[in-house]
A and B are shown apart, each in its own frame.
Chain A
Amino acid sequence: MKVSRLWAIVLRQFYLLRGSPVRVIPLFAWAAIDIVLWGFISKYLGTVTEPGFNAVSVFLGAILLWDFFGRVMQGVTTAFFEDVWSRNFLNLFASPLTIPDYVGGLVLVSIATSAIGLVVMLLLAGGLFGLSFLTYGLHFLPFVLILFLFGIALGIFGSGLVLRFGPASEWLIWPIPSLLSPFVGVFYPLETLPGWMRAVSYTLPPSYVFEAMRALVVGQTPPAGHLWLATALAGFDILLAGWYFNAVYQHAVRTGLIARYSAESLS
């Protein structure tokens, strides 16, 4: 990996954002709307549930972390789609740029864009609804790390899917967080799920985050082993996604897909 090449990928996104403020708004707008909406829902639920149940910490905290995961994933895929939309693959891949350079650059872009979203969400959730992340203590850091790693893994996997199946498959990528949310128990304990769904949940790192978050809110200490397991799973998912992206790229080079992608992007 070369720093100048990573920087080139990051700079491209910076120039796009600088040149078109409209692109900046989605970095925080949808997350902000979710925080406001779920902030009020949580406040209302707080009035109708048993005393002692901290609805704001459970629901608003959950939506904040889940939105952060979505921002991370979209940080990678949106940066990748920019190259799809501008038919830039031939210019990029007929250069000394390597796949680790390119993917590494996408990850750096995602770190920057998701951090913007996270800061806005934290400010809104704390300022408007009094959500304090002191509730989660130091656990907040592994929560963010696990969700970040898994978001990166899914972002790379989603980009690989679009590279493999063409620009039209973009619509497959956007709903991935929604498809996963029932399994990872964003708003409810995993024991609510039927056995087969729970089996799937245990393979998904965010499930451990949301279980741990709920445990903390009711004053329990989440098992440390679970968070280590989730971190390892997320790390494994990144390796798997990286392997998949590279395999798709090699397939694209064998079949001429990279060269044809420019023309096909027009359709």
Chain B
Amino acid sequence: MSLANRQSNLSGHVLEVSELSKRYGDVSAVERLSFTVARGEIVGLLGVNGAGKTTTINMILGVLAPSTGQILIEGYDIAHQRSQALARTNFAAVYAPLPGNLTVSENLKIFGLIYGIPKLKQKIAELLQHFQLERFAHTRCGVLSSGEQTRVALAKAMLNQPDLLLLDEPTASLDPATAREIRAQIRDFAASKTGGVLWTSHNMNEVEAVCDRVLFVSKGRILLQGDPKTLSVEQGYSSLEDLFIAVAREPLQDSLESRKS
């Protein structure tokens, strides 16, 4: 597919999601979701379990076809230019560990080849150093701790210097020190303006510390969005966590309306 087929990306958004829906029969998992992620931006996708976050991420990753709507990654439509779009994307998720029967280096080499990374040996050496994985280079992934496996997953996610980085609860099951380290690395990635990040997490302190913008999703729809440092106050809650709980417990729109009034 030539560049001519790429849709113009003058907006500067690495990700543009328009009117995205996913229905399973009568059940709507995601309902007309529209949002963008800009280069250098970290956007938090928040919501209770079953809100539609992972469904949305799976659609962006091309492993789940939307019922309606469009996803553009750097101007490439995932529905029609899957390989081009995914060559500019990468992800890390706790539920998608790298094969445990291969070593860290072997996994990075295989995925480096899949993503067509030039000077792969050098790239792997840089990533091993950056994520402090050098001493595990020849260790099988299956015997690493959760924190080490997360670092390996992030190293794999950085192989292609993605324009769009998707992180589904990357710090779940990590100790506070490791989680802080991971957050710092993601912040550095965004600050370098290499790409944008879409991040899901249930840790509201983390979201407040890391994300530039948050999207609250409930029943497959975006109910609220804004700056995580000010959104809770704007909505009349003392913290992001209180706002999250309100979203989780109540029919939100009604709740927010009454709260505001």
Residues on the A chain within 8 Å of B99, using CB:
12, 82-83, 86, 88
Q: Is the CB of A96 within 8 A of B114?
A: yes
Task: Give the total of A residues in contact with B, Cβ under 8 Å.
Answer: 33
Kindly state the separation between the CA atoms of A7 and B109 in the bound complex, as whole angstroms.
Answer: 11
Q: Is the CB of B63 within 8 A of A93?
A: yes
Q: Is B101 an interface residue (CB 8 A)?
A: yes
Q: Which residues of chain A (84-99) have a CB below 8 Å from chain B?
A: 86-88, 90-98
Residues on the B chain within 8 Å of A256, using CB:
24, 55, 58, 63-64
Specify which of B96, B106, B113 is in contact with A90 (CB 8 Å cutoff): B96
Specify which of A11, A15, A19, A94 is in contact with B62 (CB 8 Å cutoff): A94
Residues on the A chain within 8 Å of B58, using CB:
256, 259
Interface flags for A16-45 (1: CB within 8 Å of B; 0: not) read 100110000000000000000000000000
Q: Is A141 an interface residue (CB 8 A)?
A: no
The verdict on A19 contacting B102 (CB below 8 Å), with A11-B109, A94-B86, A263-B95 known, is yes
Q: Which of B62, B65, B82, B99 has the most CB of A within 10 A?
A: B99
Task: Give the total of B residues in contact with A, Cβ under 8 Å.
Answer: 36
Q: Is the CB of A94 within 8 A of B91?
A: yes
Kindly state the separation between the CA atoms of A96 and B160 in the bound complex, as whole angstroms.
Answer: 11
Q: Is A123 an interface residue (CB 8 A)?
A: no
Q: Is the CB of B62 within 8 A of A93?
A: yes
Q: Is B116 an interface residue (CB 8 A)?
A: yes
Q: Is B103 an interface residue (CB 8 A)?
A: yes
Specify which of B65, B83, B100, B101 is in contact with A254 (CB 8 Å cutoff): B65
**In the complex, how many angstroms separate the beta carbon of B96 from the nearest chain A beta carbon?**
4
Q: Which residues of chain B (64-108) have a CB below 8 Å from chain A?
A: 64-65, 82-84, 86-87, 89, 91, 93, 95-103, 106
**In the complex, how many angstroms separate the beta carbon of A6 from the nearest chain B beta carbon?**
9
Q: Is the CB of B93 within 8 A of A95?
A: no
Q: Closest B residue to A262 by CB, please name it.
A: B95
Q: Is A4 an interface residue (CB 8 A)?
A: yes
Q: Is A5 an interface residue (CB 8 A)?
A: yes
Q: Is B111 an interface residue (CB 8 A)?
A: yes
Q: Is B61 an interface residue (CB 8 A)?
A: yes
Q: Closest A residue to B116 by CB, please name it.
A: A4
Kindly state the separation between the CA atoms of A262 and B116 in the bound complex, as whole angstroms.
Answer: 25
Kindly state the separation between the CA atoms of A218 and B63 in the bound complex, as whole angstroms.
Answer: 55
Specify which of A8, A87, A259 is in contact with B113 (CB 8 Å cutoff): A8
The verdict on A19 contacting B86 (CB below 8 Å), with A253-B65, A256-B64 known, is no
Known contacts A12-B99, A88-B99; 16 additional CB pairs below 8 A are A4-B116, A5-B114, A8-B110, A8-B111, A12-B106, A83-B99, A86-B99, A90-B61, A91-B98, A94-B63, A96-B83, A96-B115, A255-B24, A256-B55, A256-B63, A256-B64
Interface, chain B (partner A; CB < 8 A): 24, 54-55, 58, 61-65, 82-84, 86-87, 89, 91, 93, 95-103, 106, 109-111, 113-116, 140, 156
Interface, chain A (partner B; CB < 8 A): 2, 4-5, 7-8, 11-12, 15-16, 19-20, 82-83, 86-88, 90-98, 253-256, 258-259, 262-263
